[in-house]
């Protein structure tokens, strides 16, 4: 890690904290997650502190991607639009240093917001059950933070690839509409996968909530969606903190899911850097 990368990351994080972005995002995420999670703790779906800690990443399912988008969509393209890149590149800083520093700074910002919110959820577990399984809680918290870093990397990659903030917003919004809670992934990707693998685009016989109806290829296609992947990998990750926790699907599927999340962290970022490196910034 070079000194310019660390300097850019530190300045980026400090600027976000100074602009109240850090505290605003934290407050919003606490408001939207803690009350609903606390209500869930009193429902039949959660049976004790271990079950609550294992379920904890599920509270973030539809919030991490928008959080990262808000925190990072301006990271590179904002500097480009303002003209500050010409000043920055007057110093011994490369385009790679800039992108790497932005990823570190925005990933740290997102991770801190998620950590504070996760601690709030942990307090809710203690308030209801009087205890908290520390090892399992730590694994769940790290998983949530790592997932936040994935979306921060995706967003910085998009920000590096485009020429305006409007394009960055449109690109990230398109990704969230495709992968988020709008069933677009189910309606587009799954029929295409069925057509390619079986010769028929019909998925009428497949029920999302009944694994007995899933053909062998179905859970793998699901894992290509980073948001669904995050949720489906939750139990496997939790089993690393508490081996008594079981998970649905064979080990090969679980490792495939984690590999896909890593790919989402690196491929969009690499493509965005590739375009940024070749862009005319004059």
Task: Give the residue with greater pLDDT, 150 vs 19.
Answer: 150
The per-residue pLDDT for 206 is: 84
Flag whether pLDDT at 12 surpasses 80. Answer: yes
pLDDT band at 5 (very low <50, low <70, confident <90, very high): confident
Flag whether pLDDT at 119 surpasses 70. Answer: yes
pLDDT band at 21 (very low <50, low <70, confident <90, very high): confident
The per-residue pLDDT for 209 is: 79
Residues 58 and 118: their CA atoms lie apart, in Å, by: 11
**How many distinct helices (H) and strands (E) make up the chain?**
14, 0
Percent of the chain with pLDDT over 90: 63
pLDDT tens track for 27-67: 999 999 999 999 999 888 888 999 999 999 999 999 999 99
pLDDT band at 271 (very low <50, low <70, confident <90, very high): very high
Averaged pLDDT, 193-218: 86
The per-residue pLDDT for 176 is: 93
Is 125 within 8 Å of 132 (Cβ atoms)? yes
The per-residue pLDDT for 7 is: 86
Flag whether pLDDT at 90 surpasses 80. Answer: no
Flag whether pLDDT at 2 surpasses 80. Answer: no
Averaged pLDDT, 74-96: 82
Flag whether pLDDT at 221 surpasses 70. Answer: yes
Residues 157 and 161: their CA atoms lie apart, in Å, by: 6
Is 96 within 8 Å of 8 (Cβ atoms)? no
The per-residue pLDDT for 19 is: 78
Residues 253 and 236: their CA atoms lie apart, in Å, by: 10
Averaged pLDDT, 142-170: 95
Q: Which residues of 206-239 are buried (b: 16+ CB within 10 A; e: fewer)?
A: eeeeeeeeeeeebbbbbbbbbbbbbebbbbbbbb
The per-residue pLDDT for 282 is: 64
Flag whether pLDDT at 1 surpasses 80. Answer: no
Flag whether pLDDT at 91 surpasses 70. Answer: yes
Task: Give the residue with greater pLDDT, 234 vs 200.
Answer: 234
Averaged pLDDT, 147-176: 95
Flag whether pLDDT at 89 surpasses 80. Answer: no
- Most confidently modeled range among 37-46, 182-191, 222-231: 222-231
Flag whether pLDDT at 248 surpasses 90. Answer: no
Average pLDDT across the chain, whole number: 90
């Amino acid at each position: 890690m070079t000194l310019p990368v660390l300097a850019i990351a530190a300045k980026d994080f400090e600027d976000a904290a100074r602009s109240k972005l850090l505290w605003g995002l934290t407050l919003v995420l606490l408001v939207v997650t803690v009350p609903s999670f606390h209500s869930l703790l009193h429902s039949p779906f959660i049976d004790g502190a271990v079950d609550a800690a294992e379920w904890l990443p599920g509270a973030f399912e539809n919030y991490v991607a928008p959080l990262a988008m808000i925190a990072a969509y301006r990271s590179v393209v904002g500097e480009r639009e303002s003209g500050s890149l010409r000043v920055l590149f007057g110093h011994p800083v490369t385009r790679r240093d800039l992108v790497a520093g932005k990823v570190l700074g925005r990933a740290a910002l997102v991770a801190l917001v998620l950590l504070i919110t996760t601690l709030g959820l942990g307090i809710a577990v203690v308030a209801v059950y009087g205890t908290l399984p520390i090892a399992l809680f730590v694994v769940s918290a790290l998983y949530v933070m790592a997932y936040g870093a994935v979306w921060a990397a995706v967003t910085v990659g998009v920000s590096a690839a485009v020429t305006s903030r409007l394009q960055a917003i449109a690109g990230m919004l398109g990704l969230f509409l495709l992968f988020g809670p709008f069933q677009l992934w189910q309606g587009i990707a799954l029929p295409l996968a069925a057509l390619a693998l079986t010769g028929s685009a019909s998925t009428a016989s497949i029920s999302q909530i009944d694994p007995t109806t899933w053909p062998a290829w179905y859970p793998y296609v699901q894992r290509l969606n980073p948001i669904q992947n995050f949720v489906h990998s939750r139990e496997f990750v939790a089993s690393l903190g508490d081996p008594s926790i079981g998970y649905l699907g064979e080990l090969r599927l679980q490792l495939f899911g984690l590999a896909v999340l890593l790919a989402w962290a690196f491929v969009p970022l690499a493509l965005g850097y590739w375009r940024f490196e070749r862009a005319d910034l004059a």
